[in-house]
């Protein structure tokens, strides 16, 4: 368990630094971790579970006087007068701390340590990582020649204190191989190795570092690591786990690293690129970072429950990725160990809670969950801008025609005929025949009506209108009560399961709402009556739409007159058709609340926007006759106005033609837009969503409302701002965590372990830095450099510390088994991506293309949820581009310890596992690579197998083979040759692995034997271990 480790670690450091028991105890290093781990659970920041009203995380309270016997909780210098010490030393079960039922214990060593700390005066410091770094002075070392730059002073000083010497510099071949993998994820070319080994000077080395940092593969290597942080996945996750289009974000990350975007800018764009002034598409795509959490589609789920999860995931990711703090705890209660309250959690949560998103994505359609960015190239953008201009122009013309003097109108007025027929009726249901199926036939306003069960829809055979088509739906309706929600009618496949795509009339909180929807809520228009519809009486309702895709073109008519409405959403930018459920249905929808016991009558659908005159007539069934039958002289102003509109819509050729022109321009726009790829991004809602503190973190238990703010522990907290405020706060040079957390991860990348061994937790329960001053020095330097990642990496790469050999002496191993002091370099197996990319590159199979959609190499067909593998180039791209399915990730990558990417992850674990060996031996990707390299070498060297084997060794380890090694490998080659020579059929089978065509001109058994030798070398320590 970790606390055991921590203690060992503490003791080790103590013994390293002095060896003496009585040296002063360091509060941060020695004491705080014990208090935090064993005491804070009941005597820490969480007010709700605090016992005896005692806090041990605050100095004032911990040192407070107690009322009896002159004791204090902690009495500096006097353990005998310190209640804390008496309690932890007590054997009395009623007094003993930690109490037995907590199942926490202190060891004798820990009790001794705490006692001595009190006796030594109980020095107290605030938690190191929440205090701003202070520039440390460079330590003076005895050895003046070893250090290359400042890093080395810090490292060497500690080594000297521990009586250790640094290791020798690594051999040039080891060093260049290490550097190339660390910076580009690929091995150095033989040419690069040759050039460097000829002249391995510091200058050559430094320019090699520059060269690799400028290599385009640098961005890919950095991105592979960042994608773990961003929990990147090509699918939505949870049960159904469909594909989603997010790879442009990956391309953004690669480019950002290659262009060396300053880290503060890198953070700002991902958190809030959409809020930057004149944000570019690229800056918006950066915000996809916040949408890469899992998303739900499973039928029957409660949308708000999952929307809450999404916001929580964003918040946790923000905490882990940028601040190295664990916010998860304070979702349900105040943090047990760190000074963050539950309220502060929801104040951070509030920053991420303001986008117009749904809790579920759409099961029946492929709509992208809103908010989205549509991806267009420049030509498309221009074409769309042009057509938008056309629409504005043609709509203006239409409006002019409506207001211009119109001779035709007067002629028509004179000659008009009286009629009660309304043009454009596509279907009507009067329910007179009483044939209502499961629903009930009841007395209606006119003859019979239908009373709905709420579970049985009445289907029509019309209604599949595009968003550019004007239409009208009217009906009589009577609701038995003020309903919270009921579906009156709709044209859609489903509710949340298709994000309501289509159009609909609902009762919501007793009000009538009508909507046109591509994806609810972010891509839709909705208007709603302001007044509650009185229950128990009949109302005539019409939904009238003009084809404009705008809320002001969508109206509700109540009893023949425009209802008093408010706009709920006005952001429809894509089609509303194409989801199934093509015709109108009344009274019920899949998994929605039906219109139970609601009555409906005289249901009519028109393929045009009706005029006010007609809408009034639908209500009173007489307006047409009376108005059309009134002589012109007796018409009042309203009647004249109605007749004018009626005339324009139906009889004025110029107006009608112009309506067609407008529609055709809108159709043209749809053509340009509807096929566009969309990507999920961040976009603030105009009206801020209220964030509540959620009791126990549950979506359905809102407590007090909170405003967005940063945690108080960091001083001047930002209030009321948006994500950009938050992004600027987190990247402020004054923020004590951001630079440290990032610098630590770069260190981890270059040394295998961070200076802080818990990169995900810089709080009380996290590890303290092995070299606190170095971490602070690097962080301040990093900020001063303008958050220059490449400069930071170079600083580390050229240090003597980095350049050490990984060979450890016995004394180094004995004194510092974890290599905390960095007396030598660390050896560790290459990450999953590098193992595979190495095989692809050295065999000549690598398709060196940058960016683009994910690809499906062999292994995806073997995943728990197999998907068809790709072919051709798809098999040979760098592993960073491998299709990542959240619930069944690439199985070889998973075996080889790639991050699961369910949630933000800032370090990969490294395991030692026979399953690694099994995949590296038998995975067809590696077997094929061995075969291709075998062919290349047989082609190059013919019968000179020794030379071929030697070259293979060098390709895969970057160094020349020794005589003894050559003997072993050559022997292995001969054994394999003998095996294959006797077995032509087996040989052919063996050579059939992988899609890459065989070179039939080469001797099969030689290629096969060579392939086996390469298979051996692909498993050899120096090939798979970064050393």
Query: Which residues are within 8 A (CB) of 46 and not within 5 positions of it... i.e. 6 or more apart?
Result: 333, 334, 335, 336
Task: Give the x/- contact pattern for other proteins in 458-497, rule: CB under 8 A.
Answer: --------------------------------------x-
State the nearest-atom distance from the C-beta of 832 to other proteins, in Å.
Answer: 12
Q: Which of residues 592-611 bind other proteins (CB under 8 A)?
A: 592-594, 596
Q: Is 130 a binder of other proteins (CB under 8 A)? A: no
- Cα–Cα dist 244/240, whole Å: 12
Alpha-carbon gap, residue 891 to 888, rounded angstroms:
7
Exposed / middle / buried, residue 201 (Cβ in 10 Å: 0-12, 13-18, 19+): exposed
Nearest distance from residue 105's CB to other proteins, in Å? 11
How many residues make contact with other proteins (CB under 8 A)? 113
Q: Which stretch binds other proteins (CB under 8 A): 210-218, 299-307, 540-548, 730-738?
A: 299-307
Q: Which is nearer to other proteins, 167 or 679 (CB)?
A: 167
CB of 989 to other proteins, least distance (A): 4
CB closer to other proteins out of 699 and 729: 699
Contacting residue, 4, 633, 868, 1000, with other proteins by CB under 8 A: 4
Which of 249, 151, 290, 127 lies closest to 743, judged by CA?
151
* Cα→Cα distances 840→151, 182, 833, 899, Å: 35, 17, 11, 21
| Residue 1021 is a binding residue for other proteins (CB under 8 A) | yes
Site string for other proteins, 79-108 (x = CB under 8 A): ------------------------x-----
DSSP labels, 8-64:
HHHHHHHHHHTS-TTSPPPIIIIIHHHHHHHTHHHHSS-STT-STT--SSSHHHHTP
Among 204, 406, 850, 1019, binds other proteins (CB under 8 A): 1019
CB 460 within 8 A of CB 583: yes
Could you give the string, one character per residue 867-906, with x where binding to other proteins holds by CB under 8 A and - elsewhere? --------------------xxx-xx-xx-x--x-xx---
Q: Name which of residues 320 to 379 contact other proteins (CB under 8 A).
A: 326, 328-329, 336-338
Q: Which residues ranging from 816 to 855 are in contact with other proteins (CB under 8 A)?
A: 817-818, 827
Stretch that binds other proteins, among 545-553, 575-583, 870-878, 972-980 (CB under 8 A): 972-980
Alpha carbon distance 610, 626 (integer Å): 18
- How would DSSP label each residue in 385-401? HHHHHHHHHHHHHHHHH
DSSP code of 604?
E
- Please report how close the Cβ of residue 792 comes to other proteins at its closest, in angstroms: 23
Binding characters for other proteins, 35-64, by CB under 8 A (x = yes) = -x----------------------------
543/559 Cα distance (integer angstroms): 12
Q: How far is the CB of 597 from other proteins (least distance, A)?
A: 8
Q: Which long-range contacts (CB under 8 A, 24 or more apart) does 756-762 make?
A: 756/324, 759/324, 759/906, 759/907, 760/320, 760/324, 760/326, 760/905, 760/906, 760/907, 761/324, 761/325, 761/326, 762/129, 762/323, 762/324, 762/325, 762/737
In whole angstroms, give the CA distance from residue 282 to residue 284.
5
Which tokens sit at 989?
A: 């089978």
| Stretch in the footprint of other proteins (CB under 8 A) among 3-11, 88-96, 124-132, 667-675 | 3-11
Binding mask 753-782 for other proteins (x = CB under 8 A): x---xxxxx-xxxxx---------------
Binding window for other proteins (CB under 8 A); candidates: 267-275, 562-570, 942-950, 1017-1025: 1017-1025
- 452-461 residues labelled b (16+ CB within 10 A) or e (exposed): bbbebbbebe
Which residues, 791 to 820, sit near other proteins by CB under 8 A?
807, 817-818
Alpha-carbon separation of residue 327 from 10, 451, 692, 761 (angstroms): 26, 52, 17, 10
Contact flag: residue 299 with other proteins (CB under 8 A): yes
Q: How far is the CB of 746 from other proteins (least distance, A)?
A: 17
Binding other proteins by CB under 8 A: which of 923, 952, 959, 1026?
Answer: 923
Question: Which tokens go with 876?
Answer: 């040979």
Q: Is 11 in the site for other proteins (CB under 8 A)?
A: no
Out of 621, 690, 871, 922, the only residue in the binding site for other proteins (CB under 8 A) is 922
State which residue, 2 or 194, has the beta carbon closest to other proteins.
2
DSSP assignment of 469-514: S-EEEEEEEE-SS--SEEEEEEEES-SGGGTT-EEEEEEETTEEEE
Distance in angstroms (rounded) separating the CA atoms of residues 780 and 775: 9
Tell me, residue by residue from 973 to 1012, as one string, x for binding to other proteins by CB under 8 A and - for no binding: --xx--x---x-xxxxxxxxx--------------x---x
Closer CB to other proteins, 734 or 922, in the complex: 922
Q: Which of 112, 298, 388, 433 binds other proteins (CB under 8 A)?
A: 298
- Report residue 630 CA to chain centroid gap: 66
3-state secondary structure 540-596: EEEEEECCCCCHHHEEEEECCEECCEEEEEEECCCCCCCCCCCCCEECCCCCCCECC
968 scored as a contact of other proteins (CB under 8 A)? yes
CA distances from 459 to 229, 463, 471 (A): 49, 10, 18
For residues 167 and 810, give the distance between their C-alpha atoms in angstroms, rounded to a whole number: 12
Residues 157-169 as b/e (b if ≥16 CB within 10 A, e otherwise) read: bbbbebebebbeb
Q: Closer CB to other proteins, residue 630 or residue 970?
A: 970
From candidates 147, 265, 453, 731, binder to other proteins by CB under 8 A: 453
> Phi-psi region for residue 19, left (φ > 0), alpha (ψ -120 to 50) or beta?
left
Please report how close the Cβ of residue 1009 comes to other proteins at its closest, in angstroms.
10
Interface mask toward other proteins for 396-425; x: CB under 8 A: ------------------------------
- Choose, by CB under 8 A, the member of 418, 918, 940, 943 that binds other proteins: 918
By C-beta, is 76 or 480 nearer to other proteins? 480
Q: Which is nearer to other proteins, 59 or 485 (CB)?
A: 485
Distance of closest approach, residue 664 Cβ to other proteins, in angstroms: 41
CB of 738 vs other proteins, minimal distance in Å: 19
Shortest gap between Cβ of 192 and other proteins (angstroms)?
A: 24
In angstroms, what is the minimal distance from the CB of 978 to other proteins?
Answer: 9
């Amino acid at each position: 368990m970790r606390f055991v480790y921590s203690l060992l670690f503490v003791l080790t450091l103590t013994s390293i630094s002095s060896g003496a028991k009585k040296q002063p105890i360091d509060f941060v290093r020695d004491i705080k971790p014990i208090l935090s781990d064993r005491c804070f659970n009941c005597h820490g920041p969480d007010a709700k579970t605090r016992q005896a009203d005692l806090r041990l995380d605050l100095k004032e309270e911990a040192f407070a006087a107690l009322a009896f016997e002159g004791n204090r909780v902690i009495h500096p210098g006097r353990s005998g007068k310190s209640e804390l010490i008496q309690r932890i030393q007590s054997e009395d079960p009623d007094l003993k701390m930690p109490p037995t039922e907590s199942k926490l214990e202190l060891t004798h060593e820990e009790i001794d340590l705490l006692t001595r700390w009190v006796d030594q005066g109980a020095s107290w410091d605030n938690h190191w990582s929440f205090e701003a770094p202070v520039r440390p002075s460079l330590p003076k070392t005895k050895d003046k020649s070893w250090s290359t730059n400042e890093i080395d002073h810090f490292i060497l000083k500690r080594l000297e204190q521990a009586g250790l010497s640094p290791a020798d510099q690594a051999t040039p071949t080891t060093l260049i191989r290490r550097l190339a993998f660390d910076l580009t994820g690929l091995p150095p070319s033989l040419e690069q190795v040759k050039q460097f080994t000829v002249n391995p000077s510091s200058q050559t080395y430094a320019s090699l570092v520059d060269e690799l940092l400028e290599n385009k593969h640098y961005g890919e290597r950095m991105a592979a690591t960042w994608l773990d942080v961003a929990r990147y996945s090509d699918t939505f996750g949870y049960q159904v786990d469909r594909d989603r289009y997010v790879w442009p974000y990956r391309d953004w990350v690669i480019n950002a690293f290659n262009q060396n975007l300053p880290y503060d800018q890198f953070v700002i764009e991902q958190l809030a690129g959409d809020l930057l002034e004149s944000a570019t598409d690229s800056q918006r795509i950066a915000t996809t970072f916040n949408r890469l959490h899992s998303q739900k589609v499973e039928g029957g789920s409660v949308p708000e429950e999952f929307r809450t999860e999404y916001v929580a995931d964003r918040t946790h990711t923000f905490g882990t990725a940028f601040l190295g703090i664990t916010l998860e705890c304070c979702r349900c209660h105040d943090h047990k160990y760190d000074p963050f309250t539950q309220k502060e959690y929801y104040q951070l949560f509030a920053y991420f809670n303001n986008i117009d998103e749904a809790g579920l994505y759409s099961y029946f359609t492929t709509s992208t969950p809103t908010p989205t960015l549509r991806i267009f190239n420049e030509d498309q953008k221009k074409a769309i801008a042009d057509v938008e201009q056309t629409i504005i122009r043609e709509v203006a013309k239409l409006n002019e025609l409506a207001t211009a003097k119109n001779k035709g109108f007067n002629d028509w007025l004179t000659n008009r005929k009286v009629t009660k027929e309304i043009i454009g009726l596509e279907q009507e249901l009067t329910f007179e025949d009483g044939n209502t199926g499961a629903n009930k036939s009841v007395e209606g306003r006119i003859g019979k009506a239908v009373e709905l069960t709420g579970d049985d829809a009445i289907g029509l055979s019309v209604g599949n209108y595009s968003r550019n088509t004007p239409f009208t739906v009217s009906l009589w309706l009577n609701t038995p009560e003020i309903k919270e929600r009921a579906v009156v009618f709709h044209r859609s496949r489903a509710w949340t399961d298709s994000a309501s795509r289509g159009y609909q009339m609902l009762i919501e909180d007793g009000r009538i709402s009508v909507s046109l929807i591509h994806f609810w809520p972010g891509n839709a228009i909705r208007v709603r009556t302001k007044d509650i519809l009185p229950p128990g009486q009949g109302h005539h309702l019409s939904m009238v739409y003009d084809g404009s895709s705008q809320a002001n073109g969508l109206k509700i008519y109540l009893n023949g007159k425009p209802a008093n409405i408010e706009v709920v959403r006005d952001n429809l930018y894509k089609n509303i058709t194409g989801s199934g459920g093509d015709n109108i249905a009344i009274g019920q929808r899949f998994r929605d609340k039906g219109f139970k016991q609601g009555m409906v009558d005289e249901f009519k659908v028109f393929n045009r926007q009706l005029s006010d005159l007609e809408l009034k007539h639908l209500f009173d069934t007489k307006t047409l006759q009376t108005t059309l039958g009134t002589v012109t002289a007796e018409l009042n102003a309203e009647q004249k106005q109605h007749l004018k509109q009626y005339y324009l819509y139906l009889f004025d050729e110029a107006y009608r033609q112009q309506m067609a022109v407008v529609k055709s321009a809108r159709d043209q726009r749809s053509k340009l837009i509807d096929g566009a790829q969309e990507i999920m991004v961040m976009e603030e809602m105009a009206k801020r969503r209220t964030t509540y503190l959620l009791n126990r973190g549950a979506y359905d238990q809102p407590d007090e409302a909170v405003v967005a703010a940063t945690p108080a522990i960091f001083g001047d907290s930002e209030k009321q701002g948006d994500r950009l405020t938050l992004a600027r706060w987190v990247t402020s040079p004054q923020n004590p965590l951001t630079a440290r957390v990032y610098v630590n991860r770069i260190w981890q990348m270059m040394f295998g372990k961070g200076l802080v061994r818990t990169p995900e937790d810089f709080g009380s329960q996290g590890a303290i830095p092995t070299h606190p001053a170095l971490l602070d020095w690097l962080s301040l330097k990093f900020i001063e450099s303008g958050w220059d990642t490449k400069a930071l990496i170079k600083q580390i790469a050229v240090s003597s510390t980095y350049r050490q050999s990984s060979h450890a002496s016995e004394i180094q191993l004995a004194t510092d088994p974890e290599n905390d002091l960095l007396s030598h370099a660390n050896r560790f197996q290459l990450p999953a991506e590098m193992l595979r990319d190495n095989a692809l590159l050295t065999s000549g199979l690598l398709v060196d293309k940058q960016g683009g959609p994910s690809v499906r190499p062999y292994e995806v067909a073997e995943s728990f949820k197999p998907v068809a593998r790709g072919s051709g180039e798809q098999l040979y791209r760098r592993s960073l581009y491998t299709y990542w399915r959240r619930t069944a990730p690439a199985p070889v990558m998973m075996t080889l310890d790639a991050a699961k990417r369910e949630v933000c992850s800032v370090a990969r674990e490294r395991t030692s596992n026979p399953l690694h060996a099994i995949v590296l031996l038998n995975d067809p990707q590696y077997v094929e690579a061995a075969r291709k390299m075998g062919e290349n070498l047989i082609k190059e060297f013919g019968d000179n197998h020794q030379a071929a084997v030697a070259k293979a060794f060098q390709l895969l380890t970057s160094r020349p083979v020794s005589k003894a090694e050559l003997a072993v490998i050559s022997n292995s080659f001969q054994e394999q040759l003998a095996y294959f020579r006797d077995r032509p059929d087996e040989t052919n089978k063996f050579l059939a692995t992988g899609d890459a065509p065989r070179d039939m001109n080469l001797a099969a058994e030689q290629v096969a034997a060579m392939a086996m030798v390469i298979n051996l070398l692909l498993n050899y320590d120096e090939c798979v271990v970064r050393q």
